[in-house]
Amino acid sequence: MTEVLLKVDNLKKYFPINAGVLGKKVGDVKAVDDVSFFVKKGETLGLVGESGCGKSTTGRMLMRLIEPTEGQVEFEGKVLTSLSSGEMRKVRKDVQMVFQDPYASLNPRHTVEKILEEPLIVHGIGNAQERKKMVREMLETVGLSSYHAKRYPHQFSGGQRQRIGIARALMTKPKLIIADEPVSALDVSIQSQVLNLLEDLQKEFGLTYLFIAHDLGVVRHISDRVGVMYLGRLVEITDAEKLYEKPLHPYTEALLAAVPIPDPTIKKERQLLTGDIPSPANPPLGCAFHTRCKSCMEICKTTRPELKEVEPGHYAACHLYT
């Protein structure tokens, strides 16, 4: 088996709910509730679910931008969750993040050169001349030009800004990129260009991706495996091919039904999601999806299904398979 680069065990993030003048704790929002998965070296794991399902919180906990309530994150055999902040800073050379909104994540008062040079300075890489050369080379690598170095973020289109965000993430030659909805803010026509760029860069630099998205359509071609999250929990995870061909969990089926098919002659049974996602502060008893599930049974309302290996390498949390 290919080497596991990232291993996540029983990760939880509970945000306290305080009430009254004394701010007494009255409960928790279970944003991420006992999530475990791994990412193998060189692969792309897609992590998908509606907004509020905990996928972005999970991504940020891996970088310790949000501290986990419980659980363990291991990267290259090193337990990140027990590192000091100084040790964690060193790890960030190897684990970088690409954000959804490149404009918000790029300092508008800095030139592109300064933005891209910063991670090199933080990690003590190269002298001033070498750093400038690296910045120019990286701009060409992500499909921009070296003369763009002197410009400011507002002088670029959304797609170009995301290329700058990607370039910044790659400056320290990381091994793992956590891409949090990297194309969601872009026009559909630009999305595929940025996805193609990410695929090319993966081949060129041997990168490993955790690719977070709210849409199964976006992660389809880039992912080797896909995990689906609902209300803070993983409900299904398997190879991308299996997930798209034969999804097991009714929630995955409903998400897939929402993905448009490019060929209008192909008919598929629509199974659209109805109802709103329940509040993570007050999730339904039993299976959290039971309030929206067309296959709901009595047991689903009282007993929470655990994530189980239903077929080799195909895990689902659903009473239909117990």
Binding residues for ligand SF4 (CB under 6 A): 249-250, 287, 289-290, 293, 295-297, 300, 305, 318-320
Nearest-angstrom CA–CA distance, 2 and 40: 6
Q: Which residue's CB is nearer to ligand SF4, number 113 or number 236? A: 236
Of how many residues is the chain composed?
A: 322
3-state class (DSSP) for residue 251: helix
Q: List Cα–Cα distances, 302 to 80, 167, 180, 289, in angstroms.
A: 36, 48, 34, 12
Quote the CA–CA distance of 312 and 322 in Å, as a whole number.
Answer: 15
Q: How many helices (H) and strands (E) does the chain have?
A: 10, 12
Q: Shortest approach of ligand SF4 to residue 278 CB, angstroms?
A: 12
What torsion do the CA atoms of 133, 136, 139, 141 make, to the nearest 10 degrees? -60
Nearest distance from residue 301's CB to ligand SF4, in Å? 8
Closest separation in Å from C-beta 31 to ligand SF4:
20
Query: Cα 177 from chain centroid?
Result: 9
Of 219 and 287, CB closest to ligand SF4: 287
The smaller minimum CB distance to ligand SF4, of residues 102 and 305, is found at 305
* Pick 99 or 230: Cβ nearer ligand SF4: 230
Place of tokens 């750093």: 131
Q: Please name the amino acid found at residue 165.
A: G
CB of 252 to ligand SF4, least distance (A): 9
Q: How far is the CB of 226 from ligand SF4 (least distance, A)?
A: 17
| DSSP-derived pairing of the beta strands 44-48 and 208-213 | parallel
Name the pairing type of β-strands 24-40 and 4-19. antiparallel
Q: Which is nearer to ligand SF4, 103 or 321 (CB)?
A: 321
| Residue placing its CB nearer to ligand SF4 in the complex, 6 or 248 | 248
Residue 48 is encoded by which pair of tokens? 């998908």
* Residue with Cβ nearer ligand SF4 (190 or 296): 296
Tokens of 15: 């945000």
Smallest gap from residue 28 Cβ to ligand SF4 (A): 22
User: CB of 230: closest distance to ligand SF4 in angstroms?
Assistant: 9
- Per DSSP, helices labelled H in 95-157 are 102-105, 112-122, 128-141
CA 85 to CA 64: how far, in whole Å? 9
